[in-house]
Amino acid sequence: MKIQIIAVGLLKSGPEKALFDQYAKRLGYKLKVIEIDSRQDKQIPASAYLKALSEKDMVIILDEGGENLSSRSFAQKLETYSQTGKQLSFIIGGADGIPEEVKHLACFRVSFGKLTWPHLLARVLLVEQLYRAQQITSNHPYHRD
């Protein structure tokens, strides 16, 4: 399975990067990260996201209004999507969210709860859940219900 994360913000050295790298190394999937540099005074235009996507991608956005899944349900959804052979492109927006033009491309919207997460932590949460999904799918004991 090929996975791409398109995320606002630059993950520089620090605890978030260390955690992200730890889980990314454990993934058996091919992972590509595209970072969109953000400026606090400007909303990120749709074109910044769109240039990282192809027509063959299955777009999944992290959205507070998305579906709040269990880790096991998330793993099942990823398994279903992986069978299409398409690259899964996860989009993590910045402080102003994701433009509607990009949201319309999503085949699925997922929420990590009603809490607001900084976009750098959301990236860590996503890669950990991708790793957890991989472990659930392979019946590894990492995940416990």
Decide if 96 contacts 119 (C-beta within 8 A).
no
- With pLDDT > 90 as the criterion, what percentage of the chain qualifies? 72
Q: What is the pLDDT of residue 140?
A: 78
Question: Which residue(s) pair with 90 in the sheet?
Answer: 5, 60
Instruction: State whether residue 66 is helix, strand or coil.
Output: strand
Decide if 29 contacts 5 (C-beta within 8 A).
no
pLDDT mean over 57-78: 95
Looking at every residue in the chain, the average pLDDT score rounds to 92
* Statement: the pTM of the whole predicted model exceeds 0.75: yes
Would you place residue 87 in the very low, low, confident or very high pLDDT band (cuts 50, 70, 90)?
A: very high
Tokens of 38: 């953000």
pLDDT mean over 114-131: 92
- Least trusted range by pLDDT, from 10-14, 59-63, 66-70, 76-80: 10-14
Q: What is the edge-to-edge ordering of all strands in the sheet holding 30-36?
A: 30-36, 2-8, 88-92, 58-68, 106-111
Which domains occur in the chain, in start order? 2-137 (3.40.1280.10)
Question: Which residue(s) pair with 8 in the sheet?
Answer: 36
pLDDT mean over 69-78: 96
Tokens of 37: 């540099």
Helix (H) or strand (E) segment spanning residue 115: none
State the number of CA atoms in the 13 A half-sphere of 35 facing the CB.
Answer: 11
Q: Which residues contact 15 (CB under 8 A, 6 or more apart)?
A: none
